[in-house]
Amino acid sequence: MGCRCNDISDCKNDIEVLGTGKGYIKELIELDQEGEEKLNLLANLCEATFTADNIDGLKSEEKKLNDILAETLSDLKIRVERKIDDLRDELTHLKREDKHYHERHHHNHD
């Protein structure tokens, strides 16, 4: 077991990058929800132009596509959150190892 300072730094950077990615995913989820609301509003406003069958078809197709996108984004968000949790656990372990190493070598890093 050696110095883990570089590993600690890398782990912190990975957590930060994934945190940023999680923020982007959250924004995409919000945009998707906005888009669904606007498409439903558009479909309702266009009822005078299209037949009921066309409106129902448009709404059904939009719902299918939106469900796929929403599920994909949700799954991705969960996977990123789990990876962040794993990295935080790893970071705790690395810090503990590094502390023991530096205590034994009378050389300390933060």
Are the C-beta atoms of residues 7 and 103 closer than 8 Å to each other? Answer: no
Residue type, 109: H
Q: Which two tokens stand for residue 33?
A: 């929800």
The DSSP secondary-structure symbol of 49 reads T
Q: pLDDT tens digits for 27-83?
A: 999 998 898 888 878 777 777 676 666 777 777 887 888 889 899 999 999 999 999
CA 102 to centroid of chain Cα atoms: 35
- All structural domains of the chain with their residue ranges: 5-99
Q: Which two tokens stand for residue 99?
A: 């502390």
Q: Report the distance separating Cα 31 and Cα 52, nearest Å.
A: 27
pTM for the complete prediction? 0.75
